[in-house]
Every structure is written in structure tokens, then in C-alpha cells.
Amino acid sequence: MATSNKERIITDVKGVLDDAEDLLKQAATSSGDRAIELRERALDSLKRGAEHLQDLQDSLVERSRAAARVTDDYVHDNPWRSIGIAATAGFLIGLLVNRR
């Protein structure tokens, strides 16, 4: 699920950037009102992309906060188990680092 969301986001952002690039190229070869209109459309496209990325950032921040709250609750409810998990993880990481 996370991979498909990541791919969709990348595709959306690339689409917005491609649209804006095409519009700016057309604006470079146009003149007068047509060039102004194309530049404005490109700016609108970039603005929509930026808003989309801001929405994604807000969503990720909220999900991170929720995960932190769940982790904090778990550690408070199971302090000794949490210490054991952390010690085991530290030991395994130490073994992996010393192998190199």
C-alpha cells in the first residue's frame, strides 16, 4: 500500500512538472497574450503541485505523530518488555557492525 502511494505521488508530481515544462516551452515560443496565458497556466500547475505536496507532508506528519503516540503508549504500558526489545536490537546491531 505504501509503495503504491509513493509511486502515485511520484507520478502525480512528474505529471505536474511535465505539464508546467510544456507550457513554459510553449510560452517561450509565443508572444503577447498567448505567452502570458501559458505562463499563468504553468504557474497554476506548479502551484497545484506544491499544494499537493504540502497536503502529503501534512498527512505524513500526522501519521508520524500517531505512530509516536502509539509507541509512547506501548513503552509506558510495557516498560520491561520495551527495555528487552531495545537491548536485543542494540546487541544485534552491534554484532552486525563488528562483522565488518
Instruction: Dump pLDDT digits (tens) for 41-86.
Output: 878 888 888 888 888 888 888 999 999 999 999 999 999 999 999 9
* 1 confidence band (pLDDT: 50, 70, 90): low
* 3 confidence band (pLDDT: 50, 70, 90): low
pTM (two decimals): 0.57
Contact 28, 54 (CB under 8 A): no
pLDDT confidence of residue 17 = 80
Q: What is the mean pLDDT of the chain?
A: 84
What cell was used for 60? 505524513
Task: Write down the domain spans for the chain.
Answer: 2-75
